[in-house]
Structure 1
Amino acid sequence: MSQEPNTSQPIITDIKRIAVCGGSLGRERRSYVRGQVVDVGITDLMKADGLWDLVTGLFIGEETKITPFLDFSLAPVRKPILKLEVYDSTGKLIYTSGKIKADEDGFFSCEIRDKLPVGFHDFQVILEGLDSFRQYSKDLAHLNATENSILGKTTIVGKGKLRILPEDYQGIVTTSDIDQTYLATDIHSGKGKFTALFETPNQKQALPGMPELYRELRIALENAPLAFISASPHFFRRTMLATIAKDNIQIESLHLKYLEGTIKGVFDKVIDTIFNPLEFFQNGFKPAWSRTKKFLGASYQSLFDQMSYKLSILLYDRIYLPTQAKEILLGDNTESDYMIFTLYQLICMGKLSGDELEEYLYKLNFLGRDAITRDAAKKIRLYSEEILRIHGPKNPVVLSLINRTTHGPNESDMLQKVKEALPEGCYEKEFGTKQAFYGTEGAIGMAIILEKYGFLDSNQILTVIAGMIGKVLEGKLVDETYLMKQLEELTLPKDTEGTRAKIKESLTAAFQKE
């Protein structure tokens, strides 16, 4: 007796080509858009264009089902030829790019030097062709094997949001880390990192109060931009975008790490050594072997570390921000955010530059690890020189906050690690009695310090706290007892004691009414 085929799982019948971007932020005379073109397997139901959200790159209904693991195997499109169109809020076309040639992994970037109007714009990515015979042959084989495929009919492959700030913008731009700053991701164990690959947006839990903090900041700072930077791999993008949308957080951009770039760099280095052995050994075997160990060690660490990647992104984004824009940085103590944020300020001030900066970064060993290759140090140096050329030496950071988790050092230990890692006396000389960052515990601590600097008011602190109640943090229920204990133990600047007392009084009164 023959068995009936199992039809419970949707059958993949075709391929849809999409460009996953994640938004961008720029200024009137300089902005950029970047993303990746990939192929997604689809069912017959998913062939309808009207059911796709080309901003997130997700089919309607996938928002609760997508996981990074599902996107890990997405096939990058080799060397697509693209065009970018930007439309203003009325739907008027305000910019059309020339031909954009993506790389072998489908990654593309388009810098816009035309002056664009200030405001919130939409862009769309149009596929015009391919510059790869291998990709063309692969497409042709699919089209010959599949009747009525939509692969060859798609022209608009992606959409996104582009916000343009005025050149004289003097407001705030907030940049935040994700894991252990926004999301309660278990990044401290192999099991936790592995589990993160299979989590849907609904399973990814925000740290209590953080979604409310981001929302209140946007309200208080008159729609100030928010950017997320994470060292998570680029195939987390669609899941992250869906998670952020689920938490009702409005962002301008999302940066994720391109791991294949690091792996490809190692491969290219090995190939170059094989075909150019004389150049490799020109200064002798011992120096060559030393350089190789340094390169491979730093490349391996960069797969997991954040130092080189995050510092590069912060500097790159600064190039496209208005000169007078002020920045708030949010991170955590589980890796090296506090060191990255301090270095970023010193570089923007021109206190570390040129050969000195490049050599310092190349030799930098932080938390017992080398994580900056010579190439990365050169790139950071170039970004720093461009920043100084455009903006001059100035510190754009008005506040840097570090979430002090139980998995990392306290504020004084963080400060000590930074001082030891910087050139001797550098921290004291450049920051004096000011602090390059504040370490505090969670959304409550961040909200109180933000209030101290005039970015939030006491009612908004209470809104953040209200969003925490009933949530679970590291196995503990956030209730009255938890909140009162945390308020008592918070690491805060001395001149915030009045705010702490006022919040405790308000909470006590609110809980007594209940």
Structure 2
Amino acid sequence: MPASPNPPCRHAAALLLLAAAPLAALASCSISSGGAVGAPETKSRLAPPAKAPDADNDDDEDDDDGDALKAAYADMSRTLGTVTNVPVRGRLVRESGPPDLLASTPQKEMSQREIKRVPVEIVVLDNDGKNRLRLGVTQSDSEGYINTSFPLKAGTLEPGLHTLEVRVSGRRAGRTTARLLDTGFTGLVVRSDVDLTYLDTRFTRKRDMLSLLSQSARERSTLPAMERVFSALRAGAAGGEDRALVFISGSPRFFKRVLEARMTLDGVTHDGILLKPFDDMIMAKVMSLDFGSIVPALKEQVGYKLVHLMNGRMELPPQAGELLLGDDSESDFIVYSIYHRFIAGNLDMAGLENELVRAGLDGSQREPVKTIAQKLRSVLPPSKLVKAIYINRTGSPNSHHAVKDWVVPGLTHYHAGAWPLILDLYEEGFVSKESVAAVRKRLLSIGQAEKDLETAHEDGVKSGFLKRETIALFKAGGSAPPAVN
């Protein structure tokens, strides 16, 4: 039987990253995981054939025994692609039955028993649940992850939401969805951070970090009315656009189920949550005896998010616009500023390097960004595709970098909460007047007063991105006419 992951080691790894546990404790673990993936896949292709297992290392064996495959569960993520490219992402694990997402906590998910290096078949189903199209076969990697894309000929699948079934040894292991956009799509895609942009996540103190490990979806808190804002963004100005929404978070992958469940409770429909491969990164550093760089690697956000944004950009139609949402607590405002200026052509490769240095990335952290940036530049001509950058004012801003130093004139909107945000989204023509009313109603229902809303929108006026004429449309007792631009 293949060796299973060592839960105490993975638990120690999580405590290290969330509560600064001693490196010596991590080093003393009996590590059974294999190779590491420190950044998202940068090539849209099928996964390569697995290397032959090392006969002298039991941990390197493939999980091809019957018991493991019968218990295989494909814990998949929703994805966003085009009608000519279908991304597939998830993890193959041993599960005794369908997971109860509402009972899940990050601590429970730390020691998932991955099923390594086994063939996985991906099939598109029709509306009746019958086979429609066999995309092909890929393979789980040394940590059980599946991260690949299937190219298609134009016309094979129509734009829209498609159900994918994941099969192992001919049996269903799980299902997910892929939203496919037409290659000529010119509408908007929303890409957002999670913590302190959508969820009220406090992680400045060690006890707060440890508390996050044991919290279920019901115990996580949403920032006031932000669930209504994301619903408004999906609906669009016309009210039925069903815009694509993808979240990119620096949280560990073992937060996936809790975040998915929280979004379900909030009624936030999304097209993917991209999370950081903490376990993989820790194991890679431990295996190379590079203990001193573990914590910096886990905390680094600029390079990690830029790679995800650029890789995701190549999975979008070339003329799709983007709305970017983040906050001032870590580095979203830096990431979005660099990303926009690079894809718009304001930064060449040398300029990108300079900005990465200014952001504090060392040489090893800059290389993955430069690699994916070079590939992106080769397939996407410079285009001003980012239509707005929204940065939430959290009250606990980044202590090393100021938002004002990374502002993109005309694009960066530095707001305080949901109310000035939804007003400006309406002013820019991104959401409907009904959505603004829904956010206002929600804020008042959870205890905010008219004075609180006034303070928030006045901050938007002083910041220069919100007009008083827009505010006047939604005064108490008033009714709003059609959107103004």
TM-score (norm 2): 0.77
Mapped to 2, the partners of 1:173 and 1:160 lie a distance apart of: 20
Mapped to 1, the partners of 2:361 and 2:118 lie a distance apart of: 32
Deviation of 1:214 after TM superposition, in Å, equals 1.0
Q: How does 1:102-113 map to 2 (within 5 A)?
A: 102-113=140-151
The 8 Å contact of residues 213 and 443 in structure 1, kept in 2 or not, is answered as yes
Mapped to 2, the partners of 1:94 and 1:113 lie a distance apart of: 16
The 8 Å contact of residues 75 and 174 in structure 2, kept in 1 or not, is answered as yes
Deviations 1:88-129 (A, max 9, x none): 44545443244312221101122111133211101111113x
The 8 Å contact of residues 81 and 99 in structure 1, kept in 2 or not, is answered as yes
The 8 Å contact of residues 350 and 388 in structure 1, kept in 2 or not, is answered as no
Of 445, 457, 464, the residue aligned with 2:420 is 445
Show the counterpart of 1:483.
453
Show the counterpart of 1:204.
220
Would the alpha carbon gap of residues 413 and 266 (structure 1) be closer, same or farther in structure 2, given more than 3 Å must change? closer
Deviations 1:194-214 (A, max 9, x none): 111111111111111111111
Mapped to 1, the partners of 2:126 and 2:317 lie a distance apart of: 20
Would the alpha carbon gap of residues 508 and 394 (structure 1) be closer, same or farther in structure 2, given more than 3 Å must change? closer
Deviations 1:161-208 (A, max 9, x none): 001100110111001111101101112221111111111111111111
The 8 Å contact of residues 417 and 456 in structure 2, kept in 1 or not, is answered as no
Mapped to 2, the partners of 1:261 and 1:63 lie a distance apart of: 23
Would the alpha carbon gap of residues 177 and 194 (structure 1) be closer, same or farther in structure 2, given more than 3 Å must change? same
Show the counterpart of 2:46.
none
Of 183, 201, 216, the residue aligned with 2:199 is 183
Show the counterpart of 2:41.
none
Show the counterpart of 1:6.
none
Show the counterpart of 2:469.
498
The DSSP-based 3-state class of the residue aligned with 2:191 is strand
Deviation of 1:262 after TM superposition, in Å, equals 1.6
Structure showing greater Rg? 1
Mapped to 2, the partners of 1:187 and 1:92 lie a distance apart of: 45
Deviation of 1:325 after TM superposition, in Å, equals 0.4
Give the partner amino acid of 1:379: P
Would the alpha carbon gap of residues 93 and 385 (structure 1) be closer, same or farther in structure 2, given more than 3 Å must change? farther
Of 133, 141, 146, the residue aligned with 1:95 is 133
The DSSP-based 3-state class of the residue aligned with 1:252 is coil
Q: Does 1:32 align with 2:87?
A: yes
Deviation of 1:503 after TM superposition, in Å, equals 2.5
Give the partner amino acid of 1:34: R
Deviations 1:387-413 (A, max 9, x none): 223221112100110011111169x94
- Please provide the CA RMSD for this pair: 2.8
Mapped to 1, the partners of 2:255 and 2:117 lie a distance apart of: 22
Mapped to 2, the partners of 1:114 and 1:459 lie a distance apart of: 39
Mapped to 2, the partners of 1:456 and 1:30 lie a distance apart of: 29
Deviation of 1:373 after TM superposition, in Å, equals 4.8
Show the counterpart of 2:388.
399
Q: Does 1:243 align with 2:257?
A: no
Deviation of 1:16 after TM superposition, in Å, equals 3.6
Show the counterpart of 1:73.
111
The 8 Å contact of residues 303 and 368 in structure 2, kept in 1 or not, is answered as no
Deviation of 1:28 after TM superposition, in Å, equals 1.6
Deviations 1:429-478 (A, max 9, x none): xx6xx33411101111111111121112333212112122243xxxxx42
Q: Which has the higher helix share?
A: 1
Deviation of 1:359 after TM superposition, in Å, equals 6.4
Q: How does 1:294-373 map to 2 (within 5 A)?
A: 296-297=292-293, 299-354=294-349, 357-358=352-353, 361=356, 364-366=357-359, 370-371=360-361, 373=363
TM-score (norm 1): 0.73
In the alignment of these two chains, the number of paired residues is 405
Show the counterpart of 1:377.
366
Deviations 1:262-303 (A, max 9, x none): 223324544xxxxxxxxxxxxxxxxxxxxx8xx954x53231
The 8 Å contact of residues 136 and 150 in structure 2, kept in 1 or not, is answered as no
Would the alpha carbon gap of residues 489 and 495 (structure 1) be closer, same or farther in structure 2, given more than 3 Å must change? closer
Would the alpha carbon gap of residues 31 and 355 (structure 1) be closer, same or farther in structure 2, given more than 3 Å must change? farther
The 8 Å contact of residues 345 and 395 in structure 1, kept in 2 or not, is answered as yes
Mapped to 1, the partners of 2:276 and 2:395 lie a distance apart of: 25
Deviations 1:347-370 (A, max 9, x none): 212333445534653xx253xxx4
Mapped to 2, the partners of 1:349 and 1:38 lie a distance apart of: 41
The DSSP-based 3-state class of the residue aligned with 2:303 is helix
* 169-178 vs 497-506, which moves further: 497-506
Show the counterpart of 2:285.
266
The 8 Å contact of residues 338 and 352 in structure 2, kept in 1 or not, is answered as no
Of 212, 236, 243, the residue aligned with 1:224 is 243
Q: Does 1:17 align with 2:72?
A: yes
The 8 Å contact of residues 307 and 372 in structure 1, kept in 2 or not, is answered as no
Would the alpha carbon gap of residues 190 and 504 (structure 1) be closer, same or farther in structure 2, given more than 3 Å must change? farther
Deviations 1:137-173 (A, max 9, x none): xxxxxxxxxxxxxxxxx82222100011001101110
The 8 Å contact of residues 473 and 479 in structure 2, kept in 1 or not, is answered as no
Would the alpha carbon gap of residues 212 and 495 (structure 1) be closer, same or farther in structure 2, given more than 3 Å must change? closer
| Identity across the alignment (%) | 25
The 8 Å contact of residues 308 and 372 in structure 1, kept in 2 or not, is answered as no
Mapped to 2, the partners of 1:227 and 1:67 lie a distance apart of: 22
Mapped to 2, the partners of 1:200 and 1:495 lie a distance apart of: 37
The 8 Å contact of residues 445 and 492 in structure 1, kept in 2 or not, is answered as no
Would the alpha carbon gap of residues 81 and 409 (structure 1) be closer, same or farther in structure 2, given more than 3 Å must change? closer
Of 230, 253, 260, the residue aligned with 1:234 is 253
**What runs of 5+ residues in structure 2 fail to find an aligned partner?**
1-67, 481-485
Would the alpha carbon gap of residues 336 and 489 (structure 1) be closer, same or farther in structure 2, given more than 3 Å must change? same
Runs of 4+ in 1 over 6 A off after TM superposition: none
The 8 Å contact of residues 338 and 355 in structure 2, kept in 1 or not, is answered as no
Give the partner amino acid of 1:395: K
* 490-499 vs 72-81, which moves further: 490-499
Mapped to 1, the partners of 2:358 and 2:351 lie a distance apart of: 16
The 8 Å contact of residues 401 and 437 in structure 1, kept in 2 or not, is answered as yes
Mapped to 2, the partners of 1:479 and 1:193 lie a distance apart of: 31
Mapped to 2, the partners of 1:356 and 1:446 lie a distance apart of: 31
Mapped to 1, the partners of 2:470 and 2:346 lie a distance apart of: 35
The 8 Å contact of residues 86 and 96 in structure 1, kept in 2 or not, is answered as yes
Q: How does 1:15-164 map to 2 (within 5 A)?
A: 16-40=71-95, 42=96, 46=97, 52=98, 58=99, 62-89=100-127, 91=129, 93-115=131-153, 116-128=157-169, 155-164=171-180
Mapped to 1, the partners of 2:361 and 2:467 lie a distance apart of: 37
The 8 Å contact of residues 323 and 386 in structure 2, kept in 1 or not, is answered as yes
Mapped to 2, the partners of 1:466 and 1:104 lie a distance apart of: 49
